[in-house]
Amino acid sequence: MARASLHENADRLIAVHIPRKRFGQNFLEDRTVVERIVEAIRPRPGERMVEIGPGLGALTTPLLQALGRLDVVEIDRDIVRSLRSRFPPDVLSVHEGDALETDFGVLGPDLRIAGNLPYNISTPILFHLTTFAAAIRDCHFMLQREVVQRMGAQPDTAEYGRLSVMLQYRWQIEALFDVAPTAFNPQPKVWSSIVRMTPYPLPPIPARDERCLAQVVAAAFGQRRKTLRNALRPLVGEQALAGLGIDPGVRGETLGVADFVKIANHLADRGD
């Protein structure tokens, strides 16, 4: 479709849709910010890209111009109808439904994923996408700035936690730039950030049982003030921790990803 036609379609959609709080809708309207996002993504014709939550099409339009075709996942039925009426199905393939229930594995290999994720369910979406990491080339997301800070946080910082460990185990995390609330309608009460996530072909330090790793990490951060000897007591004793070279008297926030994998592998070898 021609450039002018794509912008006209997006502008007509903006004029008729009222943001819905239950879907966490804050629509990006600042075209300067959109241009920076597209520049960071660098979409190329023929690439398979999926946009989560296209909303009013601010990012959808320039992605289509660069790619030629695009898949989108959208839960709002009114927006789905508008998108399908304005863009041919061979240009825009609209998958109606919840991103948390979407099987991204059926959309093909080497996926590129982008979107302005609903802030109220962003963490579950990130964990859901991690299960498809092997089929993904990269992700570019707009998220609440505090979430991006947590994603890339290092041990012994206030932001470091379960999200940091579980994502850094599987992804390279790169915070790109911040976005002010004034870029959206309605304006959120928080700043946002653009983040790039690139999956490792294989985790640098693989866990023999990733479910066990998730259990260890969840226990370690379940009550942040607890030491490891107390937080992990149902899973592993302090003598075993000491034998692994980990001080049972420290808190989980002091351990790096490799330490958590070491604990999980010990439990997996023990058959627990």
Question: Domain coordinates of the chain in residue numbers?
Answer: 3-199, 210-270
Domains 3-199 and 210-270 share a fold: no
How far is Cα of residue 218 from the mean position of the Cα atoms in its chain?
Answer: 19
- The CATH superfamily holding the domain 3-199 is Vaccinia Virus protein VP39 (3.40.50.150)
State residue 262's pLDDT score: 97
d(CA 39, CA 52): 18
pLDDT 10s digits, 81-138: 999 998 999 999 999 999 999 999 999 999 999 999 988 899 999 999 999 999 999 9
What contacts 224, CB < 8 A, 6 or more positions away? 161, 251, 252, 253
Domain 210-270 CATH assignment equals 1.10.8.100: yes
Q: Is the pLDDT of residue 248 over 50?
A: yes
Query: Shortest CA distance to 244 belongs to which of 253, 45, 57, 256?
Result: 256
Q: Which amino acid is at 162?
A: R
Helix (H) or strand (E) holding 5: helix 3-16
Global pTM reads: 0.89
At residue 19 the predicted structure's pLDDT band, cuts being 50, 70 and 90, is very low
- Residue 133: half-sphere exposure toward Cβ, Cα within 13 Å: 18
State residue 272's pLDDT score: 59
Share of the chain above pLDDT 90, in %: 84
Which tokens is 236 given? 């592993």
Q: Is the pLDDT of residue 194 over 60?
A: yes
Q: Helix, strand, or coil here: 271?
A: coil
Provide the 8-state DSSP code for 231.
Answer: H
d(CA 65, CA 31): 15
pLDDT 10s digits, 63-73: 999 999 999 99
Q: Helix, strand, or coil here: 17?
A: coil
CA angle 99, 103, 108 (to 5 degrees): 115
Strands 184-185 and 27-28: antiparallel
Share of the chain above pLDDT 70, in %: 90
Concatenating the DSSP letter of every residue in 22-51 gives GGT--EE--HHHHHHHHHHH---TT--EEE
pLDDT 10s digits, 24-57: 468 899 999 999 999 999 999 999 999 999 988 9
